[in-house]
C-alpha cells in the first residue's frame, strides 16, 4: 500500500465534518453512498419480513406473560393468518393442564410390528409439512438380542415385521429433567404441570440448541414454511401443540395435549393397529398406564443420562 500523508499540522483533521469539500472527501462520500445503496440491494430479500411478520406478532410477549385478553387476540390473529396462508378455517384453543394429572406413555415392544401407522397419524394430526415424511416419531428396527441402537435402522423399506427383528418407536420422552429446557436461552420451551414439554412457537428464536441437547432426537426444526393442502389441515388446533408452526422455529411431540387434556387419546395411540401403545394419567391408580408400570418390567431409554423420561418400554 502506498503512503498516505497525515501530518496533523497541515492535513484537515475532520475530513467530512466541517471541512471544505476536497476531492478525497467527495470521493469518500460517493463511495459510502454507493456502498449503502449496494447494501440495501443486497439485503432487499429481507423485505418479506414486514409482510410476513406483523407488528403485533413481532411485539408478542412470551406465552406465560399473555393475559386472557392477549391470548384471545393472538389466537384470532393466528386463525386469520392460517385462513390467509392455507385457506383453512381452524380453531385455536388452549386447554390447560388438568391439576393432579401426570401423563405417561408406554410401548409394548412385543406387540409393535413396525408398521408405522403412528408416524402417519402424527403427521396428519400435527399439520406437519407434507413435502417430507415429517413426524415426531421414529420407529427403529432393531436386531433381536440387542438393545444397541447402533445396530438399529429407521430407514427400512421392506415388509414388516421381519423375523429376526423387533421394533422400537422413539418420540419425545417428556423428561422430568429435560436437557432441552435447561439449554434454551430464552425459555421458549418448558415443562408443563402434567409433564408435557412444550414450545412457544412464537417465542423461539430458532437457535436449535435444544435440538442438539435432546438425547432422543425428539425435536424438529421448521427449516421452511410448512406446506399443507387446505383440505388436509387439521382444524382442531392447540396454541402449544398442533397449530401450523412458523418457519424458523422448533417443534416437538406434545402428547397431543389438545386431545389428551380433554380426555381423548393421542393420535398415534388411536392409529396403532397392534395395541402396543398405552397412555394415561400416572397418578390415577386405575389407569392403564399405571397397570403397566405396576405389573410389567418397564425400562426407559438412556437411563444413565438422568433425563428421567415419562415414556416407558416393556416386553410381555
Residue 308 interacts with which of other proteins, ligand SF4, none, CB < 5 to 8 Å by class: none
Residues 159-188 contacting ligand SF4, CB under 6 A: 172-175, 178-180, 183-184, 186, 188
Residues 252-311 contacting ligand SF4, CB under 6 A: 252, 307
Q: For residue 24, what are the CA distances in angstroms to 21, 37, 79, 190?
A: 8, 20, 57, 58
- Segment interacting with ligand SF4 (CB under 6 A) among 95-103, 199-207, 238-246, 275-283: 199-207
Find the binder of other proteins among 43, 145, 159, 286 (CB under 8 A): 43
Minimum Å gap between C-beta 197 and ligand SF4 is: 4
Minimum Å gap between C-beta 230 and ligand SF4 is: 28
Find the binder of ligand SF4 among 219, 245, 258, 277 (CB under 6 A): 219
Find the binder of ligand SF4 among 82, 108, 115, 189 (CB under 6 A): 189
Nearest to 138 by CA among 219, 63, 66, 83: 219
Bridge-based pairing state of the strands 298-299 and 311-314: antiparallel
Backbone torsions φ then ψ of 289, nearest 5 degrees:
-65, -35
146 belongs to the binding site for other proteins (CB under 8 A)? no
Question: Is the separation of the CB atoms in 258 and 237 below 8 Å?
Answer: yes
223 belongs to the binding site for other proteins (CB under 8 A)? yes
Q: 66-76 in b/e burial notation, b at 16+ Cβ within 10 A?
A: beeeeeeebbe
137 belongs to the binding site for ligand SF4 (CB under 6 A)? no
Residue 175 interacts with which of other proteins, ligand SF4, none, CB < 5 to 8 Å by class: ligand SF4
212 belongs to the binding site for ligand SF4 (CB under 6 A)? no
The binding track of 85-104 with respect to ligand SF4, each residue x by CB under 6 A or -, is --------------------
Residues 1-40 contacting ligand SF4, CB under 6 A: none
Minimum Å gap between C-beta 286 and ligand SF4 is: 27
Residues 170-209 contacting other proteins, CB under 8 A: 170, 179, 182-188, 203-209
Environment class of 253 (CB within 10 Å of its CB; exposed 0-12, middle 13-18, buried 19+)? buried
207 belongs to the binding site for ligand SF4 (CB under 6 A)? yes
User: What is the end-to-end Cα distance of the chain in Å, rounded?
Assistant: 79
The residue ranges that bind ligand SF4 (CB under 6 A) are 172-175, 178-180, 183-184, 186, 188-189, 197, 199, 204-210, 214, 216, 218-219, 250, 252, 307
Amino acid at each position: 500500500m502506498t503512503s498516505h500523508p497525515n501530518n496533523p499540522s497541515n492535513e484537515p483533521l475532520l475530513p467530512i465534518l466541517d471541512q471544505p469539500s476536497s476531492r478525497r472527501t467527495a470521493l469518500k462520500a460517493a463511495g459510502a453512498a454507493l456502498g449503502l445503496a449496494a447494501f440495501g440491494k443486497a439485503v432487499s430479500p429481507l423485505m418479506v419480513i414486514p409482510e410476513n411478520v406483523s407488528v403485533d406478532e413481532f411485539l408478542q410477549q412470551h406465552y406465560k406473560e399473555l393475559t386472557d385478553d392477549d391470548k384471545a387476540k393472538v389466537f384470532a390473529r393466528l386463525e386469520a393468518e392460517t385462513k390467509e396462508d392455507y385457506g383453512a378455517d381452524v380453531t385455536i384453543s388452549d386447554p390447560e393442564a388438568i391439576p393432579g394429572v401426570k401423563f405417561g406413555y408406554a410401548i409394548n415392544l412385543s406387540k409393535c410390528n413396525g408398521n408405522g401407522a403412528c408416524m402417519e397419524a402424527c403427521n396428519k394430526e400435527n399439520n406437519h409439512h407434507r413435502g417430507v415424511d415429517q413426524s415426531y416419531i421414529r420407529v427403529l428396527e432393531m436386531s433381536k438380542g440387542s438393545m444397541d441402537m447402533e445396530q438399529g435402522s429407521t430407514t427400512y423399506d421392506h415388509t414388516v415385521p421381519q423375523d429376526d427383528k423387533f421394533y422400537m418407536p422413539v418420540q419425545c420422552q417428556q423428561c422430568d429433567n429435560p436437557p432441552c429446557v435447561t439449554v434454551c436461552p430464552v425459555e421458549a420451551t418448558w415443562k408443563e404441570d402434567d409433564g408435557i414439554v412444550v414450545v412457544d412457537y412464537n417465542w423461539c428464536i430458532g437457535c436449535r440448541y435444544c435440538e442438539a441437547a435432546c438425547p432422543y432426537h425428539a425435536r424438529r426444526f421448521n427449516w421452511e414454511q410448512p406446506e399443507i393442502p387446505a383440505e388436509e389441515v387439521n382444524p382442531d388446533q392447540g396454541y402449544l401443540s398442533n397449530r401450523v408452526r412458523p418457519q424458523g422455529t422448533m417443534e416437538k411431540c406434545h402428547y397431543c395435549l389438545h386431545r389428551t387434556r380433554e380426555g381423548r387419546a393421542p393420535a398415534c395411540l388411536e392409529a396403532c393397529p397392534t395395541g402396543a401403545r398405552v397412555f394415561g394419567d400416572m397418578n390415577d391408580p386405575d389407569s392403564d398406564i399405571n397397570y403397566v408400570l405396576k405389573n410389567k418390567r418397564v425400562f426407559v431409554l438412556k437411563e444413565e443420562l438422568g433425563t428421567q423420561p415419562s415414556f416407558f418400554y416393556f416386553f410381555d
